[in-house]
């Protein structure tokens, strides 16, 4: 089900942006006397900054659309860009969960995985962005069935997956459209 209330979408995106800011501030120490600016060199922090920018941009687009067309309907600057941002942060979550976190349990050191800060930047932000993409943005506009080779979801298919105008996925899209 797609959320068709711009007031709910704006509220969700504003709260999500606040949570993402808290995660970025905690991981980089922005609230301390000496922030760790080198934290912004890591993919995790950069992908969270991308998500923050996207949530703020989406919230502003929601306000703009609400002023022009009312509070009923959906708003997003670009469904494809939203899917690309979602894919970027999902990579962050999956790499941490399946590659980095298991390795942390076997390495000596003082780092503890799954702290509040780790959970904010590796799990909460991706889940917030995935929910925004799935519930607020009309998923049908990104043509997730694989019809468009420009779609971020089609880029993740294996090279042997059928593609093109004659593929079963393309035929299924033509019948649904």
Total of domains in the chain: 2
Q: Give me the domain span that covers residue 173.
A: 145-177
Looking at the domain assignment, is residue 1 inside a domain?
Answer: no
Please tell me whether residues 65 and 86 are part of one structural domain: yes
Please tell me whether residues 32 and 62 are part of one structural domain: yes
- pLDDT tens, residue by residue, 65-102: 889 888 887 777 888 888 899 999 999 999 998 888 77
Looking at the domain assignment, is residue 56 inside a domain?
Answer: yes
- pLDDT tens, residue by residue, 5-24: 888 889 999 999 999 999 99
pTM reported for the whole predicted model: 0.74
Question: Stretch 132-151: mean pLDDT, rounded?
Answer: 57
Please tell me whether residues 134 and 90 are part of one structural domain: yes
Please tell me whether residues 138 and 106 are part of one structural domain: yes
How far is 118 from 27, CA to CA, in rounded Å? Answer: 8
Q: Please give the C-alpha separations between residue 154 and each of 58, 111, 144, 174, in angstroms, as whole numbers.
A: 23, 37, 7, 16
Structure tokens at 20: 């993402």
């Amino acid at each position: 089900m797609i959320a068709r209330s711009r007031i709910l979408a704006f509220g969700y995106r504003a709260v999500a942006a606040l949570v993402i800011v808290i995660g970025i501030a905690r991981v980089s120490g922005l609230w301390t006397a000496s922030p760790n600016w080198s934290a912004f060199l890591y993919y995790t922090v950069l992908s969270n900054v991308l998500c923050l920018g996207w949530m703020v941009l989406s919230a502003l687009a929601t306000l703009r659309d609400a002023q022009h067309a009312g509070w009923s309907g959906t708003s997003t600057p670009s469904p494809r860009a939203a899917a690309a941002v979602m894919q970027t942060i999902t990579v962050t979550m999956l790499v941490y969960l399946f590659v980095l976190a298991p390795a942390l349990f076997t390495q000596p050191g003082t780092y503890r995985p799954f702290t509040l800060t780790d959970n904010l930047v590796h799990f909460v932000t991706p889940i917030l962005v995935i929910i925004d993409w799935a519930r607020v943005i009309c998923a049908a506009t990104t043509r997730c069935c694989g019809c468009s080779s420009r779609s971020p979801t089609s880029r993740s298919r294996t090279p042997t997956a059928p593609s093109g105008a004659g593929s079963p996925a393309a035929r299924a899209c033509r019948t649904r459209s």
